[in-house]
């Protein structure tokens, strides 16, 4: 990689990201059951029925993994706390062992000179709350605020930045409309309510953290560029609907206090009563915006279906192991559009970017180095066009549990042998270390 730190703005931060359920080993340390455990145990949901019970056993290999983060020269480590590890039933009872683990994690980062970037929710909802309807339930903002208070009271004095909910589109749409993630629903009413409650919960968590004196608080949305499959007006309209649902709904709520008209066409009848009154909470002021970016989709009209009446058109290479198109321009376009239309001068972080590749422990992952290089160039272009991008974090530190796709899709800068759990830094790790370490 032909970069130096001087090629990016002053104070620009580089980092690596993971999430709790994907690496920790959920069976350890007194964590409670989550909706991912039951989702994965249900045939047809996850490749080979794999789950996060052991994952990378990060729970027992914390120091080794923190040394890897230090070794690559990361300024920031973006991690998540698991709600069910901290509060096994989702409310009331706190698992001291779980909080102690995160306390050691944060201290271990600070001892190594790395800034801790906390995410409070990265998808493993305590089963007890899922049993009550999970994100569909209007009590979620209260439950989430209580959980936030427990975590923030313990860690908040040492956290560099915090965001409540990773990738609201996945928590809402992918999980309640597409049915591809837990709880695996395919229900428009559940989707509308979940998407709204996610944003209200986000706002409540921001208020709790602010109340406890924490600063540098943000939101993290995943964005996927959508290109019409043809110039036909129906395909253009379908791609616009896809963009509205995926990319504009959540930032619309957070920064404009409104939802896009193209989404309201389908979801409005199903939103909870009084949804219009929640924007004051949803719009609790933020200090930064996070964009997770991987790919784009070509979108076509689907004539035989009700709203949203779109379908994915065939991809065009080159593709990653996920069969995702490599399209770095989408990152530049999202960074500039987000600043221009939503966030103005607020710092934007690329909170996730990376690719899955069928890596082995002893072959250079040249494809990943090329992917990262192309996307870092896209970040530079966005900066040159005036987007206030302040950092870039690679997904992921190490190979891990890729949700419904199990352990096969390798996103790591560090190879993990899932038999022995041996960690081996890949060529991309060394390439980043060379310039991040200075
Ligand atoms: O592994 C996921 C992560 O949990 C959230 N963002 C996308 C990654 C790759 O699919």
To test the pocket of ligand 1, the residue of 173, 411, 416 to mutate (highest count of ligand atoms within 8 Å of its CB) is 411
- The Cα 423–Cα 416 span in angstroms is 5
- The Cα 396–Cα 69 span in angstroms is 11
Query: 47, 404 in Cβ contact below 8 A?
Result: yes
| Best CA proximity match to 396, nearest among 377, 381, 414 | 414
Contacts of 91 (CB under 8 A, 6+ apart): 128, 129, 143, 146, 147
**334 three-state secondary structure:** helix
Q: What is the pLDDT of residue 304?
A: 95
Ligand 1 centroid to Cα of residue 33, in Å, is 21
Query: 429, 373 in Cβ contact below 8 A?
Result: no
Extract the tokens encoding 341.
């239309």
Protein fold of 5-436: TIM Barrel (3.20.20)
Domain boundary assignment for the chain = 5-436
196: Cα within 13 Å, side-chain hemisphere: 28
pLDDT digits (tens, 9 = 90+) for 99-157: 999 999 999 999 999 999 999 999 999 999 999 999 999 999 999 999 999 999 999 99
Atom of ligand 1 nearest to the CA of 122: 4
Query: 185, 246 in Cβ contact below 8 A?
Result: no
Ligand 1 centroid to Cα of residue 22, in Å, is 9
Find the residues whose C-beta lies inside 6 A of ligand 1.
19, 22, 167, 292, 352, 395, 402, 411
- The Cα 100–Cα 238 span in angstroms is 48
Ligand 1 centroid to Cα of residue 224, in Å, is 13
- The Cα 56–Cα 205 span in angstroms is 29
Percent of the chain with pLDDT over 70: 100
Q: Average pLDDT of 327-334?
A: 98
Ligand 1 centroid to Cα of residue 94, in Å, is 27
Protein residue closest via CA to atom 2 of ligand 1? 402
Beta bridge partners of 225: 296
Q: What is the pLDDT of residue 86?
A: 99
pLDDT digits (tens, 9 = 90+) for 32-74: 999 999 999 999 999 999 999 999 999 999 999 999 999 999 9
Atom of ligand 1 nearest to the CA of 166: 5
Total count of residues recorded for the chain: 438
- The Cα 48–Cα 327 span in angstroms is 30
- The Cα 368–Cα 321 span in angstroms is 11
Ligand 1 centroid to Cα of residue 211, in Å, is 30
Q: Average pLDDT of 309-334?
A: 97
- The Cα 86–Cα 97 span in angstroms is 8
Instruction: Answer left, alpha or beta for residue 214, where phi above 0 means left and psi between -120 and 50 means alpha.
Output: beta
Protein residue closest via CA to atom 9 of ligand 1? 402
Q: Average pLDDT of 403-423?
A: 98
Q: What is the pLDDT of residue 294?
A: 99
Note the pTM of the prediction, 2 decimals.
Answer: 0.98
Protein residue closest via CA to atom 10 of ligand 1? 402
Atom of ligand 1 nearest to the CA of 402: 1
Ligand 1 centroid to Cα of residue 53, in Å, is 18
Does the pLDDT value for residue 329 go beyond 90? Answer: yes
* CB contact burial 4-23 (16+ within 10 A = b; e otherwise): eeeebeeebbbbbbbbbbbb
Does the pLDDT value for residue 438 go beyond 90? Answer: no
Ligand 1 centroid to Cα of residue 402, in Å, is 7
Residues marked active site are found at 167, 352
pLDDT digits (tens, 9 = 90+) for 239-281: 999 999 999 999 999 999 999 999 999 999 999 999 999 999 9
pLDDT digits (tens, 9 = 90+) for 156-201: 999 999 999 999 999 999 999 999 999 999 999 999 999 999 999 9
Q: Average pLDDT of 295-299?
A: 98
Q: What is the pLDDT of residue 322?
A: 98
Positive or negative torsion for Cα 138, 292, 266, 307? negative
Q: What is the DSSP string of 158-227?
A: G-SEEEEEB-HHIIIIIHHTS--STT----HHHHHHHHHHHHHHHHHHHHHHHHTT---BEEEEEEEEEE
């Amino acid at each position: 990689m032909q970069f130096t730190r001087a090629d990016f703005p002053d104070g620009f931060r580089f980092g690596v990201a993971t999430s709790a359920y994907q690496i920790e080993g959920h069976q350890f340390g007194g964590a409670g059951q989550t909706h991912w455990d039951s989702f994965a145990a249900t045939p047809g949901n996850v490749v080979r029925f794999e789950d996060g019970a052991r994952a990378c056993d990060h729970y027992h290999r914390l120091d080794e993994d923190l040394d890897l983060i230090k070794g690559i020269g990361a300024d920031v480590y973006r991690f998540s706390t698991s709600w069910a590890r901290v509060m096994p039933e989702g409310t009331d009872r706190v698992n001291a062992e779980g909080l102690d683990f995160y306390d050691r994690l944060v201290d271990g980062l600070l001892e190594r000179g790395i800034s801790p970037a906390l995410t409070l929710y990265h998808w493993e909802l305590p089963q007890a709350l899922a049993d009550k309807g999970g994100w569909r339930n209007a009590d979620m903002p209260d439950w989430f605020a209580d959980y936030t208070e427990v975590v923030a009271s313990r860690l908040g004095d040492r956290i560099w930045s915090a965001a409540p909910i990773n990738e609201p589109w996945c928590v809402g749409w992918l999980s309640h409309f597409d049915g591809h993630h837990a709880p695996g629903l395919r229900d428009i009413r559940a989707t509308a309510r979940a998407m709204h409650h996610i944003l209200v919960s986000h706002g409540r968590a921001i208020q709790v953290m602010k109340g406890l004196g924490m600063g540098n608080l943000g939101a993290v949305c995943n964005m996927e560029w959508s290109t019409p499959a043809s110039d036909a007006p129906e395909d253009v309209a379908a791609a616009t609907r896809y963009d509205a649902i995926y990319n504009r709904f959540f930032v619309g709520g957070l920064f404009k206090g409104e939802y896009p008209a193209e989404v309201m066409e389908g979801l409005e009848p199903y939103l909870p009563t009084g949804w219009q009154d929640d924007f004051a909470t949803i719009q609790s002021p933020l200090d930064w915006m996070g964009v997770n970016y991987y790919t784009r989709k070509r979108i076509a009209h689907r004539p035989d279906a009700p709203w949203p009446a779109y379908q994915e058109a065939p991809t065009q290479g080159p593709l990653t192991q996920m069969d995702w198109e490599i399209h770095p321009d989408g990152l530049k376009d999202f960074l500039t559009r987000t600043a221009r239309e939503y966030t103005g001068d607020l710092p934007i972080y690329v909170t996730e970017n990376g690719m899955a590749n069928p890596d082995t422990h002893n072959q250079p992952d040249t494809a990943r180095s090329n992917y990262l290089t192309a996307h870092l160039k896209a970040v530079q272009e966005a900066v040159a066009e005036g987007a206030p991008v302040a950092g870039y974090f690679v997904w992921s530190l190490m190979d891990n549990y890729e949700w419904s796709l199990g352990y096969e899709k390798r996103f790591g800068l560090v190879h993990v042998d899932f038999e022995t759990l041996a960690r081996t830094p890949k060529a991309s790790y060394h390439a980043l270390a060379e310039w991040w370490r200075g």
